[in-house]
Every structure is written in C-alpha cells, then in structure tokens.
Amino acid sequence: MIPITEYAGKDVAVYGLGRSGLSAAKALKAGGARVHAWDDNEETRAKAEAAGIALSDINKRDWQTFAALVLSPGIPFKFPQPHRLVRMAEMTGVPVIGDMELFARAVQALPERARPKVVAVTGTNGKSTTTALIGHILKQAGRDARVGGNIGTGVLDLAALHSNAIYVLELSSYQLDLVKSLHCDVSVFMNLSPDHLDRHGGMDGYQAAKMRIFQNQTDKNVAVIGFDDIYTQSIAIGLSAKGPQKVVQISSTYTLGKGISAVDGRLYDNQSGKAEFVGKLDECPALIGRHNHQNAAAAYAACRALGLDPATIMAGLRTFPGLAHRMEAVGELDGIRFINDSKATNAQAAEQALRSFKNIYWIAGGVPKAEGIAPLASLFPNVTKAYLIGQAEDAFAATLNGKVPSQVCGSLDRAVEAAYRDAKAAGEPGAVILFSPACASFDQFKDYEHRGDAFRTLVHGIVPASLKVTA
C-alpha cells in the first residue's frame, strides 16, 4: 500500500467503493485522514465494511468540513451531467480528485532523488496488453516494476514508493479526467477512436482527457505515440513541434522515417534515423496480429526510454504470456480453435481479431456502441458465419444481411453450441470460433471479464481436459 499522508488529521469524502475507491479509502486511512466512505450500492458497502472501511453517509454530512472528495472514476464527473455529489463539492468549494491524483501528489511530495519512475499508458485499445507487456519486460530484466492502475491492482494498493521502483500504470480517460499533478517519465498514447463519448461530451472532450497524460512532462521525459490513426497522428505531429518532451512515434502499419516500426511481423528501431532490425514478432506467441505488433512497438519504445537494450526487450517480448480475454486461446478440438476476445468492446477492438484470422465463426453482440459493426465491413470476407447475441443482435443482423450468413442466437451458450456444430460439420482446416463481441457486456454480464469467463467455461464443456489451453 502507498499511505497518503497529505490529508492527515483532515476529513476526506470517498465516493464509490469499487477497486480504486476502496484502495483510496485504505491509503487515506493509513495516512491519518478521517475517511468518510460511501457507495450507493448496498452490496458494495458491505464489501467495504468487510475490508475494514467504516462507512459514513456523506449525503448527510456537512460538506464544508471536507478537505477533498475522492471520486471513483466510474462516477460521472462532467458528462452527461455531474453526479449530485460532484455538484455538492463544487458548491462548497471541495476539490474533486481521484486515486491517481493522490498517487501523483505522493510522488511529487518526495525529494526528486527519492522519486520512482512513472510509466503511464492510455489509448482506446491495447493499453492493458501494453501495460502488462512493459511490466513483464522490466521484471524479466531484473527491474522493480509495479503494474497497476486501471489493470489488476489499484494504484494505491501497489507497494510503497521507492526511488528504484518503476510504476507501470494503465490510465483510463475517466482516471485522467481527475488528475492534475501526474508527471510521467514515459507516457504512452496508443491510439484513439470514438468511445465513452457520453462521459466526455463528445470526441473533443474524450481526446482532451487522454491528452492529460502529457501534462507536466519536461524535456527529460519521453512521449510514445501511435501513428496508425488520424487522431494520434495529429497528436504526435503537434507534440513533436510544440511539446518539451521527446516524442517517439510507433506504428504497426507504416515504416517510419524515425521511430519504431513493426511491419510484416518484423520490429525495427529507427530512432537514430537508421533502421536497425530488432527481431521477429512471430517468435512471440502471445502477440498475434497487427494490433499486438503495435503493442509490442510501444512497449519496446517505452523500455528503450528506460535504458533497456534491444536484445533484453526482445527476450521479454518472446516470453510474454498474454492477458486473459484478449485473443486468448482457450481450446482446440477437431482442428477448430476457440479464441476468447471478450475485451473487444467496440468495433476497432474487434477489428484486430477479425484481421488476424480467416475462416472465422464469429460470435458478436451485447450492448452496441454508436458505430455498430459497419466499420468492419472490409473484414467480413474473413467471416464464414456470424452468431449474434444480446441487445445488438437485430442491428448486427441487419448490417450483415447479404454480406455474411448470420444466426440470431440470443445467448452465448446457444451461440457457442451453434458455432461449434457448424464449424465441425464444415470440416475445413483452420476454422476459428472467435468470441469478439464488438459491444459492451452489461446486458447479460457484469463486465467483459465475467463474459469472457463464461465463454471459457462453455468451451471447456466441449473440449476434453487434455486439450484445454489455459492462460
């Protein structure tokens, strides 16, 4: 844990007691603050009490006594409208911050020589894999890397601050909305596509939130930026011209004149202006597909910025085990592979998996995003048949009509059964049953992890134990 001493002896409201809120409450309590923790959900409150956090209904407190409101990133801050407690804080002059801001202030409060390194990763897609990949490479190289934030462990639940440590943090746009003091030694901005627009008032607000990852960087710091979409291309060019930090462009689409390129499965370092071959990415079994090659290029750039040599980084790329629910191989039977890509909650994320395979029996659906699956039309030839579930099934069937045979299945269990039956009957080599929903999960599941676990369980009901693949 990282104790937060800034508010020792002061009253602090904590609202939202999920992973980040609970860790913030514990860190503040450990640092001597009087914590007033609350969540509107009774089950969540019970879990917080079981974790040793005393509850205090902040709806009924005198807000003029609070030194700060620590807001869970899942609670609306600005859009579609501020939560009632955010409005209460604003009316009484109480600062609204998040757990990442508490971490940032704790780091900045240390003498410069005692501060750890901070590597932060954001983007619409790929940030979890890239964060985990950077952490893996650093640990394999013997560095004291602590991985968390929006992935795995809440930032304040990580081991205490130490000058030799490197904190590798995934940051969501919701978390970035609540930071002011964060200073990144290395910032990584993977890509940008429309997502969470209701929470940011549109694309401009979403981009602005993501851009906060660069604030407070100096000419001693590095910004790693993807060059594979029009948004991040513009950001990379603009920051290269105006920003104080060094900008390293990365791409899995283009051979860059200067930067890091992962093209046709080969990784090149061209930061000096002369392309140097680093290694073959087809030797990295957990990094299949162009999107994972972008992740590899970003991780390579970040680790080079931290002083690792190319051979050491390549060794880490080869041994990376991958992450659950991200093109995770969960079984193979009768020559048919089952791939769990439940983390694909929008079309751009699903695009990466559809691009990586042929002869796909595609299971898709859930709560649709605004763009639906129409942007994936160029990849429909890779799909043999689609099996549709959830709220999106009728809309997706309409999009696929006349282009890809589809079947409305309603539920995931029926989709898996139908896809396996059809793939087995076809008997064609290289068939892939791909669960890449291109949708949020909340119509039928708690989250993408619950959804992916359900898929894995269904597959393991089909595939004999001796043939199962575990993450």
- Annotation says 292 is catalytic: no
Dump pLDDT digits (tens) for 404-455: 999 999 999 999 999 999 999 999 999 999 999 999 999 999 999 999 999 9
How would you write the pLDDT of the chain (471 residues) with one tens digit per residue?
999 999 999 999 999 999 999 999 999 999 999 999 999 999 999 999 999 999 999 999 999 999 999 999 989 999 999 999 999 999 999 999 999 999 999 999 999 999 999 999 999 988 999 999 999 999 999 999 999 999 989 999 999 999 999 999 999 999 999 999 999 999 999 999 888 899 999 999 999 999 999 999 999 999 999 999 999 999 999 999 998 999 999 999 999 999 999 999 999 999 988 899 999 999 998 998 888 999 999 999 999 999 999 999 999 999 999 999 999 989 999 999 999 999 999 998 899 899 999 999 999 999 999 899 999 999 999 999 999 999 999 999 999 999 999 999 999 999 999 999 999 999 999 999 999 999 999 999 999 999 999 999 999 999 865 444 443
Question: Helix crossing, 290-305 with 347-356: angle to 10°?
Answer: 110
Q: Domain containing 77 — which CATH number?
A: 3.40.50.720
- Annotation says 401 is catalytic: no
Indicate if 33 and 132 belong to the same structural domain. no
Query: Both ends of the chain: CA-CA distance in Å?
Result: 28
3-state SS, residue 240: helix
Distance from C-alpha of 32 to C-alpha of 258, rounded to nearest angstrom: 49
User: Is 127 flagged in the annotation as binding?
Assistant: yes
Indicate if 297 and 394 belong to the same structural domain. no
**Residue 367's beta-bridge partner residues?**
440
Cβ atoms of 190 and 223 within 8 Å: the answer is: no
Distance from C-alpha of 380 to C-alpha of 465, rounded to nearest angstrom: 33
Closest CA to 179 of 149, 154, 215: 215
pLDDT of residue 288: 87
Indicate if 333 and 304 belong to the same structural domain. no
User: Is 253 flagged in the annotation as binding?
Assistant: no
Indicate if 358 and 426 belong to the same structural domain. yes
Q: Which of 78, 97, 116 is the last residue of a domain?
A: 97
- Annotation says 295 is catalytic: no
Residue 5 covered by a domain: no
User: Is 122 flagged in the annotation as binding?
Assistant: no
Indicate if 338 and 251 belong to the same structural domain. no
- Kindly report the CA angle at 20 between 15 and 26, in degrees rounded to 5? 80
DSSP letters spanning 319-332: H----TTSSEEEEE
Q: Which of 263, 292, 319 is the last residue of a domain?
A: 319
What's the domain range around 122?
102-319
Closest CA to 423 of 326, 357, 328, 345: 357
Distance from C-alpha of 405 to C-alpha of 362, rounded to nearest angstrom: 10
Alpha helices, H only, 306-429: 310-319, 347-356, 393-400, 412-426
Helix (H) or strand (E) holding 49: helix 42-50
Q: Which of 117, 150, 346, 369 is catalytic?
A: 150
Q: Sheet harboring 165-170: ordered strands across? A: 144-149, 165-170, 117-122, 186-189, 222-226, 246-251, 260-263, 266-269, 276-280
Report pTM. Answer: 0.86
Indicate if 307 and 385 belong to the same structural domain. no
Indicate if 130 and 256 belong to the same structural domain. yes
Q: Domain containing 184 — which CATH number?
A: 3.40.1190.10
User: Is 128 flagged in the annotation as binding?
Assistant: yes
Q: Which of 53, 78, 97 is the last residue of a domain?
A: 97
Indicate if 60 and 167 belong to the same structural domain. no
3-state SS, residue 439: strand
Q: Which of 127, 210, 291, 385 is catalytic?
A: 127
How many Cβ atoms sit within 10 Å of the Cβ of residue 425? Answer: 8
Q: Which of 47, 78, 183, 196 is catalytic?
A: 196
User: Is 123 flagged in the annotation as binding?
Assistant: yes
Count: domains in the chain:
3
Dump pLDDT digits (tens) for 45-70: 999 999 999 999 999 999 999 999 99
Residues 6+ apart with CB under 8 A from 291: 125, 126, 252, 351, 352, 355
